[in-house]
Amino acid sequence: MAINTVKEDENLETGSRKATLLRLFRYLLAYKKKITFVLLIMFCCVTITLINPLIVEKAIDVYIKNKDRNGLLQLGTFAAIINIMLVLFIKLRMYIMAEVSNKVLLTIREELYSHIQTLSFHFFDSRPTGKILARIIGDVNSLKEVLSNSVTTLIPDFITISSVVIIMFIKNWRLALAALSSLPLMIIGVWVIQKKAHTRWQIFRKKGSNVNAFVHEDISGMYIIQSFGAEEETQENFEQLLGEYRESFIDAVKFADAFGSVIDFCWGIGTLALYYVGVKMIGSDRVAVGTLIAFGTYISMFWHPVLNLSNFYNQLITNIAGAERIFEIMDTKADITDDSDVMNLPPIKGEVEFKKVSFEYDENSKVLENVSFCVKTGETIALVGPTGAGKSTIVNLISRFYDIQKGIITVDGYDVKKISIESLRNQMGIMTQDNFLFSGSVKDNIRYGKLDATEEEVIKAAKAVNAHEFIMEMENGYDTILKERGAGLSVGQKQLLAFARTMISEPKILILDEATSSIDTHTELLVQEGIETLLKGRTSFVIAHRLSTIQNADRIFVIDNGGIMEQGSEKELLEQKGVYYELYMAQFANAV
Ligand SMILES: Nc1ncnc2c1ncn2[C@@H]1O[C@H](COP(=O)(O)OP(=O)(O)OP(=O)(O)O)[C@@H](O)[C@H]1O
């Protein structure tokens, strides 16, 4: 059962924000040397910025007062040199940090992607693909600025602020107190705003994810939308989701803008207080004009980084939601995993046994109850039964796509839970009705079944299942590039290519969910022959829709009511006049 659909907001389980941030910034540790270098550069930048007001103070209170032209010229040259260095340092810092943050994003994306590959069907059943995509692409991208600014803003701005405060207090503590008098007001304001902003940014990300999932699902199902003329309705749904997305943004951004306003307000009050106290003190001769001007610069130098920090904090609040969503997936445990003591399944013959197997996808909705059967090497089993009876479930359990709650499933006597998943699936060939093909050449699609297959092996497999003939008729034969999902090929052609892909992997156990769509008689014949070739010499489970497949099977399992209702050859089952007989009469009697 899906935990959420494209229109529902995801239910996000997150840890503490501090832990999320620490975890995110830990990725930067891999670039310690570069970051130390950037910090050194930043330290030089901060020093130069702090020296600038002292230069102005000295120029006014010493050289201009004493009319010392030479001294003023020397001081001016010195100021020009260090400020050119400042510009170069800033460029270098930006370049290095852009490189570091991009590498970190790459690492996070790789980790996320490889973790997603380990997750079981349960995970994919529970959420739309578009929402997973949103996390791999959008959420990861949203961390870029945070990562780079954490080094270039956070640390240097803290250093600047503390240095400015120390210098101000050393120079004149009364002016310093006046300049910083609005600080408590700012702290309270920022704290209140961030509390409200974080939840709103979380909602914004969820709404974005909904839009992503909707578009993804819509484009995948465009054929159905257009054939049912449902464009208008989908458009309306899309606009509704976009509306929610826009509103959540406006809601969140209101608070984001409030950060800047609070800082500006407090900055203004601080400046007013400074000049009020400063001008009074000039009268009493306790403050030189140059010192008050220098304080005017210091107060900007104090509030500028505070503004930067608040912007950074705002960015953090905005994007931490992205980090939370990424880490939530990374922390999702793969429920179908190898135990620590599993062994590799040796080359098998292909015997499959279910011993009192019970299974449910969700609690209290049993799909299989106490199912037992033994299939001998090389046997072909046709699984038939009403829709939703559990045919696909049985074959999915053999490949261990889900774990059973009770009983044992063995392959050649090995419990599937006690052998490595990879060694089990490597010896199985699975063909779904979908016959999923990837964008790429025909050759590469067939090679997917055996990555190191030679050209000859590819052609041999294609010939064996009757795919060679139509491949050679294509524009570039085996090098013809297929579109996504094999768009442009007929259903039968897709099937034949999928057969070739399975053939080349030479599985000992074959699972085939026969396609139901009807195809032209010539291709149908090719497909039937293809299936026969595939089945030869392997243990096969076919979710059978073709009468010919059912008739050629060694045994037929009739699945219903959580178990195998009948089993035997077609002749035996027809003679029994039970469930299969009824099914046969309903589905095939007219076709014979
Ligand atoms: N991923 C899933 N999560 C929850 N329930 C599921 C899932 N897949 C199947 N089911 C349920 O399990 C039952 C058996 O489904 P299954 O797909 O095995 O039936 P089937 O016999 O293969 O049907 P069909 O012939 O229509 O493909 C159904 O009631 C179905 O709704």
Please name the residues in contact with 106: beta carbons below 8 A apart, sequence gap of 6 or more: none
| Ramachandran angles phi, psi of 250, nearest 5° | -60, -40
- Domain 17-330 in CATH 1.20.80.30: no
Q: Which helix (H) or strand (E) holds 92?
A: helix 69-118
pTM over 0.80: no
pLDDT band at 423, cuts 50/70/90? very high
Ligand 1 neighbourhood includes 120 CB (under 6 angstroms): no
Alpha carbon nearest to ligand 1 atom 11, residue: 388
ipTM score assigned to the predicted complex: 0.96
pLDDT band at 12, cuts 50/70/90? low
Tell me how far apart the alpha carbons of residues 190 and 457 are, in angstroms, rounded to a whole number: 67
Which superfamily does CATH assign the domain made up of 339-379+386-425+549-592 to? P-loop containing nucleotide triphosphate hydrolases (3.40.50.300)
Per residue in 345-375, pLDDT (tens digit) is: 999 999 999 999 999 988 878 899 999 999 9
Tell me how far apart the alpha carbons of residues 140 and 433 are, in angstroms, rounded to a whole number: 34
Look at residue 407 in the predicted model and tell me its pLDDT: 95
Alpha carbon nearest to ligand 1 atom 24, residue: 387
The residue ranges of every structural domain in the chain are: 17-330, 339-379+386-425+549-592
Residue holding tokens 């009268």? 283
Ligand 1 neighbourhood includes 170 CB (under 6 angstroms): no
CA of 362 to the centre of ligand 1 (A): 11
Q: What is the mean pLDDT of the chain?
A: 85
Q: Which of 141-145, 373-377, 474-478 shows the lowest mean pLDDT across its residues?
A: 141-145
Tell me how far apart the alpha carbons of residues 179 and 173 are, in angstroms, rounded to a whole number: 10
Give me the DSSP letters along 114-160.
HHHHH--HHHHHTS-HHHHHHIIIIIHHTTHHHHHHIIIIIHHHHHH
Give me the DSSP letters along 31-44.
GHHHHHHHHHHHHH
Which atom from ligand 1 is nearest to the alpha carbon of 385?
Answer: 21
CA of 384 to the centre of ligand 1 (A): 13
Ligand 1 neighbourhood includes 391 CB (under 6 angstroms): yes
Per residue in 259-303, pLDDT (tens digit) is: 788 888 999 999 999 888 888 887 666 777 778 888 888 888 888
Give me the DSSP letters along 23-79.
HHHHGGGGGHHHHHHHHHHHHHHHHHHHHHHHHHHHIIIIIITTT-HHHHHHHHHHH
Ligand 1 neighbourhood includes 361 CB (under 6 angstroms): yes
Alpha carbon nearest to ligand 1 atom 26, residue: 387
Per residue in 168-227, pLDDT (tens digit) is: 899 888 888 988 999 899 888 888 887 788 788 888 888 888 888 888 888 877 877 777
Look at residue 1 in the predicted model and tell me its pLDDT: 37
Please say if the pLDDT value at position 592 is more than 60. no
Highest mean pLDDT among 335-344, 405-414, 479-488, 535-544: 405-414
Tell me how far apart the alpha carbons of residues 295 and 278 are, in angstroms, rounded to a whole number: 9
Vertex 239 angle, CA 238 and 240, to 5°: 90
